[in-house]
Amino acid sequence: MTTGRPVRVALLGCGAIAQAHLRAIAANPGLIEVAGLYDADRGRADARAAEYGIGHVYESWQAVLDGDADVVAVLLPHDLHARFAVEALAAGHHVVVEKPLATTLAECDAILEAAAKAGKRAHPVHNRIYDPGTDAAREFIQSGAIGEPFLAQTVGLEPPQTVSVRPWLGTKAGGGGVLMAQAVHPAYLLRWILGDITEATSISGARKVLDMTSEDTAIAIYRFKAGPIAEMTGTFGLNVGPWDHRVTFYGPDGYVEIGSRHGVRGLSEKRFGDREIHPLLPDLEWGTGFARMWADYAHGFRDGTPTRVSGADGRAAVEMILAAYESAQTRRTVDVPLRS
């Protein structure tokens, strides 16, 4: 690809999350542009094209494969990620695949192998790694403000509407429940800060709020190679908002919390000279991470530069979730890496 030309992206799937990607691409003029949209529901693709001023809607998936887009963004129900990503890679396109990268390790490996064979890149959408709040928390930790983190906790409180607006998520097409669909975000965030895990333990809630195939509420506990432990709680059962997402890292000298309602806050006597909780970054703009992610990936596609997040990171996040499922099913602590 010639340096300087915008990276051209075909969007596959024009549902809810396509809007975040369209806005993120529009926030990077000259670097990325939309080649066209495709959705099995043609009306939905046409509506999105009109809404975002996109000039091209593909007639078929084959037309996307045969087209001149550099990248295909796979924004589909989870059980379709691997099939479409592999086809796009085999046809010579890079891929950016919404989270989770795929629903099994075999599917993740098929994507990574197709990318290696085609000499193309496959990235998962781990957008929260690109949030300014994540950078603020990571820098706080790396500065030594809280000492070496030894414990982390994450909470994801969402309503049943998360599932009801995308009914496939309540079926086998979700590849799991709240852990696969929601907690994969805090899972990759924990790994970004604390490194790889060595074991997982998990239970799922038996008092279900939603009528869905998999769990609507779960707790997973992880041990990290470097020593820390973490607890991750997620639910789709909270009817009454406001809802919340929080990730907190604790060290001997304080803590730092990334929260969707309060921004990033930290306590560190070393840093602040007191024992109060201080705001580090008050305003968290949810969409910013998508724009920064696309910029990083586009430079990688165009200039061959390394990126913050790779396909292997997508696989590792899926493995964290699958290890939790194996634990819940077997009622045992499960060693990681999993035997795939």
Residues that bind ligand NAD (CB under 6 A): 13-18, 39-41, 44, 75-78, 80, 98-99, 125, 127, 166, 181
Q: Which is nearer to ligand NAD, 28 or 164 (CB)?
A: 164
Q: Which is nearer to ligand NAD, 130 or 249 (CB)?
A: 130
Residue number, nearest CB to ligand NAD? 15
For residue 115, the minimal CB distance to ligand NAD (Å) is 18
Half-sphere exposure of 306 (CA within 13 A, CB side): 1
Q: Which is nearer to ligand NAD, 141 or 291 (CB)?
A: 291
Q: Which is nearer to ligand NAD, 17 or 146 (CB)?
A: 17
For residue 165, the minimal CB distance to ligand NAD (Å) is 7
For residue 2, the minimal CB distance to ligand NAD (Å) is 30
From the DSSP assignment, how many helices (H) and strands (E) are in the chain?
12, 14
User: How many angstroms separate the most distant Cα atoms in the chain?
Assistant: 62
Q: Which is nearer to ligand NAD, 9 or 76 (CB)?
A: 76
- Single-letter amino acid, residue 122: A
- Sheet strands side by side (includes 32-38): 32-38, 7-12, 71-74, 94-97, 122-124
For residue 95, the minimal CB distance to ligand NAD (Å) is 13
Q: How many residues does the chain have?
A: 340
For residue 184, the minimal CB distance to ligand NAD (Å) is 8
Residue-by-residue DSSP string for 95-123: EEEPSSS-SSHHHHHHHHHHHHHHT--EE
CB atoms within 10 A of CB 53: 9
Residue-by-residue DSSP string for 280-314: EE----TTHHHHHHHHHHHHHHHH----SS-HHHH
For residue 75, the minimal CB distance to ligand NAD (Å) is 5
Q: Which is nearer to ligand NAD, 75 or 334 (CB)?
A: 75
Q: Which is nearer to ligand NAD, 129 or 141 (CB)?
A: 129
For residue 105, the minimal CB distance to ligand NAD (Å) is 17
**Pair of tokens at residue 300:** 């990688």
On the 0-12 / 13-18 / 19+ scale of CB atoms within 10 A, 57 is: middle
Identify the CA nearest to 148 among candidates 251, 268, 254, 256.
Answer: 251
